[in-house]
Amino acid sequence: MPGSRRSQRQRAVAELRAQGRYGPELRDVLPAFVGLAFAVAGPVALLVWLHHALGIGGLVLGVALLAAATVVGLRWRRAAVRRRGGIYTPAELAVLDEHGLVAAAERMLGRDGWHVIAMPDEGRPRLYARDRGGRQLDVGFRPADEAVDEDVPTGPAPLREAGRPGVDNLIRVVVSRGSYSRADVLWASRQGGVHLVDGRQLQQWAAGESLDGLGLPG
């Protein structure tokens, strides 16, 4: 009989787990409990040590340090959540490397309602995106310090690689933290469907403005 009861309970638990109605096991929640214990015990141990070592002054110092650490931690967490939501400050944009800028643009597109796919092309970072209205973006990137050849008639790299040959119905966007030369602007205007985003517009986009608000073709 005990064996039968045990097997019945095991079957009942298995059914509840299959339905997603059985709560987590100890092994699932133990790491979280251990982390919580350390998070509570660590500051308490620090305060006790400071009190024994320095008296009331040490206790006051410990409380002040913990308060300052809490404020810094909350600010860091809010900034991280903001960046994950596709909002960046000019200072944060300035320290991004090429891969960081691509990741930021992907988040900003997602923030604006675009479905984004990263598809590097021959070593160059590239994003493809589609919105609910069916518009498609082909987003390329040019480093701010990339040299510009004013004599190149087909447009400075990577502007001439902004869209793959034979791909139609794409709005081509090129993003740079720097500025574009007159040759860049003239080349883009001759192509049709090429939208240049310079450093100033990039900051506006990162601050919450949409690409449509920056003049993206409809």
pLDDT at 154 over 60: no
Greatest CA separation found in the chain?
91
pLDDT band, residue 75 (cuts 50/70/90): confident
Q: Is residue 187 a contact partner of residue 167, using CB atoms and an 8 Å limit?
A: no
Closest CA to 139 of 94, 168, 111, 170: 170
The pLDDT tens digits for 183-213 are: 888 888 887 778 899 999 999 999 999 998 9
6/165: higher pLDDT: 6
The reply to whether the predicted model has a pTM over 0.75 is no
Q: Write down the residue that tokens 């040759």 correspond to.
A: 183
Three-class DSSP labels, 85-123: CCCCCHHHHHCCCHHHHHHHHHHHHHHCCCEEEECCECC
Q: Is residue 205 a contact partner of residue 197, using CB atoms and an 8 Å limit?
A: yes
Predicted local distance difference test score (pLDDT) of residue 15: 61
pLDDT at 155 over 80: no
Q: Is residue 198 a contact partner of residue 180, using CB atoms and an 8 Å limit?
A: yes
Mean pLDDT over 85-101 rounds to: 92
